[in-house]
Amino acid sequence: MLTHEIGSVTLVGAGPGHPDLITVRAVRALAQCQAVVYDRLVGREILDLAHPKAKRVYVGKSCGRHAATQDEINALLVALARQGLDVVRLKGGDPFVFGRGGEEMLHLRAAGIACTVVPGVTAAFGCAAEFDFPLTHRGMASGVRFVTGHMKNDEDLSLDWRGLVDPHTTLVVYMGVSGLAAMLDGLTEAGLSKETPAAIIQNGTRAGQRMVCATAATLNKAARNLNHGMPALVVFGEVVTLSPLWDAQMAELTLPPLCAAQ
């Protein structure tokens, strides 16, 4: 009976979306793989970097619609590796920043499958750079925190609101639009100033990217004009005002109404 030598799995971060932002190491891993298991936010240009003969398996997830559960993905990675294949598990952003890469790594390790990790440019850094503002800045933000606005199994959004309110720290919320109202209530009740600059960045680094600037008091209203089918980040902090879009959008909000013709 023929047996396969056990293959391996490489967890690869595809970056925030634009194909130029994927790393050289990630490109090499894709070019050499025999199978690629990829997520919803991985664009066609990046997927096409995989070896032409590599098996492609889509396991994307969106709100309420999963091509595969996490348990099924874990089992699939083990099964492909046990067929002797070198597998790339391709994720948007970085595998270890809200990408469940840690869960997959531990499952593979428990199954005796070799696993390596190729980090990627995470969405927070990519999107902020795309709209020309830093996440930290001397005299304005001495730190940055990443949290997720999406809770496991549709649980109520429950975060350490008081611990997140710090005027000297930029707060970046991944997947934060669907629970935005609850998040704003939690933050403002914990002491976040309603005048805190904020922004929602949608489809960052991709075609059709958009950044909407507001304050904590007006952010929920501003979010009503977004396409809620696209990925989005929410950013709170003074650093948002360093983006050229801040002055332009705030000026539009404060323009006096046009006088009617006499």
List, as one string, the DSSP characters of 169-185: EEEEEET-STTHHHHHH
Does the annotation mark 55 as catalytic?
A: no
* 172 and 247 both lie in a single domain: yes
The DSSP secondary-structure symbol of 97 reads: S
Q: Rg of the chain's alpha carbons, rounded to an integer?
A: 21
Do 57 and 131 sit in the same domain of this protein? no
- Considering the domain boundaries, does residue 107 fall inside one? yes
Q: Is residue 258 one of the residues assigned to a domain?
A: no
CA-based nearest residue to 77, from 29, 118, 43, 110: 110
Query: Comparing C-alpha atoms, which of 16, 7, 75, 67 is closest to residue 35?
Result: 7
Tens digit of pLDDT for each residue in 66-91?
Answer: 679 999 999 999 999 999 999 999 99
Beta strands 8-13 and 86-91, pairing class: parallel
Residues 130, 232: one domain? yes
Torsion of CA 241, 243, 245, 249, to 10 degrees: 0
Total count of domains within the chain: 2
Of 48, 53, 55, 61, the catalytic one is 61
Q: What are phi and psi of 256, to 5 degrees?
A: -70, 150
- 259: pLDDT strictly greater than 50: no
From 167, 160, 149, select the one nearest 234 (Cα to Cα).
149
Would you place residue 254 in the very low, low, confident or very high pLDDT band (cuts 50, 70, 90)?
low
Give me the CATH number covering residue 101.
Answer: 3.40.1010.10
pLDDT in the model for residue 252: 73
**One domain, residues 127 and 239:** yes
Span 96-151, pLDDT tens digits: 999 999 999 999 999 999 999 999 999 999 999 999 999 999 999 999 999 998 75
Residues 29, 108, single domain; the answer is yes
Is residue 39 part of the annotated active site? The answer reads yes
In a domain? residue 261: no
E strand or H helix at 27, and its extent? helix 24-32
Q: For residue 250, what pLDDT is reported?
A: 83
Is 260 within the bounds of a domain? no
* 103 and 164 belong to one structural domain: no
Q: Is 134 found in the same domain as 96?
A: no
What mean pLDDT value characterizes the chain? 90
In Å, the largest CA–CA distance within the chain is 93
* pLDDT value at residue 1: 35
Domain identity same for 72 and 158: no
Q: What is the pTM of this model?
A: 0.88
Report d(CA 48, CA 54) in Å as an integer.
10
Q: Enumerate the H helices of 58-191 as residue ranges.
A: 70-82, 101-110, 123-130, 161-164, 180-189
- Percent of the chain's residues with pLDDT above 90: 77
Indicate whether 114 belongs to any domain.
yes
Residue 212 confidence (pLDDT): 94
Beta strands in 3-75 (DSSP E): 8-13, 35-38, 55-58, 61-62, 65-66
**Domain presence at residue 47:** yes
The verdict on 136 and 242 lying in the same domain is yes
pLDDT tops 60 at residue 3: no
Can you tell me the mean pLDDT for 212-224? 93
pLDDT for residue 261 is more than 60: no
- Over the range 95-107, which residues count as b (16 or more CB within 10 Å of their CB) and which as e? bbbbbbbeebbeb
> Are 64 and 50 members of one domain?
yes
Residue 220, judged by CB atoms within 10 A of its CB (0-12, 13-18, 19+), counts as middle
Q: Which domain holds residue 90?
A: 8-118
